[in-house]
Structure 1
């Protein structure tokens, strides 16, 4: 049942996420191309310079949680059950998306986004393994 639901929801979910990444959250086109390549340091600076906790939670944890569903891709693409194959495919894909944000100026190319998004995929992969071991009866 869960696998069927996942098959139905993952494409619209991906399209929704792409919409958010390019057009959502009052996003507008930057004057110049933007890039942030300081791994982890830019996120620490963001947390330090942000007064409201809700922005920190939305940006940092959102970048992790919103990408967890991609850790389940092995349910519909058996070649992506293996963590190495999943992460290789995901990192390649998210770099393309980040580059598109950069070239269209509808966002920034941010290394931290790649790291946080990939961590979310990894957590999703762990959760998928847990669900497969613990709740076999729900998987069809």
Structure 2
């Protein structure tokens, strides 16, 4: 049952997430193409520069939590049940999205986003395995 719901929801969810990444949350087109390639440091600098914890939670945790559903892609594509295969397919896909943000200037190409998004996929994969073991009857 959960697999059927997931199959129905993941495409609209992905489209919604792409909307957020390019147009939502007050996005605007930057004057220049922006890129940050120093892992972790840009996130630390961002956290240190923000005065409102709500913004930190929304941006940093959002980059993790919003990608948890992609950890369940093995329910649709059996080859992606393997964590290594899932991650090795996800990283190029999210890198393309980040590159599109860079080239359209509708966001910043950030290595930290790739890391945080991938961590979200990993957490989703762990959650998927847990749900499959704990609620076996509901998954099918």
TM-score, normalised on structure 1? 0.99
2:92 is matched with which residue? Answer: 92
C-alpha displacement at 1:86, in angstroms? 0.2
2:13 is matched with which residue? Answer: 13
1:55 is matched with which residue? Answer: 55
> 1:104-123 to 2 correspondence within 5 Å?
104-123=104-123
1:136 is matched with which residue? Answer: 136
State the secondary structure of the residue aligned to 2:133: helix
Structure 1 residue ranges without an equivalent (≥5): none
State the secondary structure of the residue aligned to 2:106: coil
Paired with 2:106 and 2:47, the residues of 1 have a C-alpha distance of 22
2:39 is matched with which residue? Answer: 39
State the secondary structure of the residue aligned to 2:69: helix
Structure 1 vs Structure 2 CA RMSD? 0.4
1:70-114 CA-to-partner distances (Å, cap 9, x unmatched) read 000000000100001100110010000000000000000000000
Paired with 1:130 and 1:40, the residues of 2 have a C-alpha distance of 29
**Poorly superposed stretches of 4+, deviation over 6 Å:** none
C-alpha displacement at 1:10, in angstroms? 0.1
How many residues are matched? 140
Q: Is 1:25 aligned to residue 25 of structure 2?
A: yes
Structure 2 residue ranges without an equivalent (≥5): none
State the secondary structure of the residue aligned to 2:16: helix
State the secondary structure of the residue aligned to 1:132: helix
Paired with 1:27 and 1:50, the residues of 2 have a C-alpha distance of 18
1:64 is matched with which residue? Answer: 64
1:124 is matched with which residue? Answer: 124
1:4-29 CA-to-partner distances (Å, cap 9, x unmatched) read 00000000000000000000011010
TM-score, normalised on structure 2? 0.99
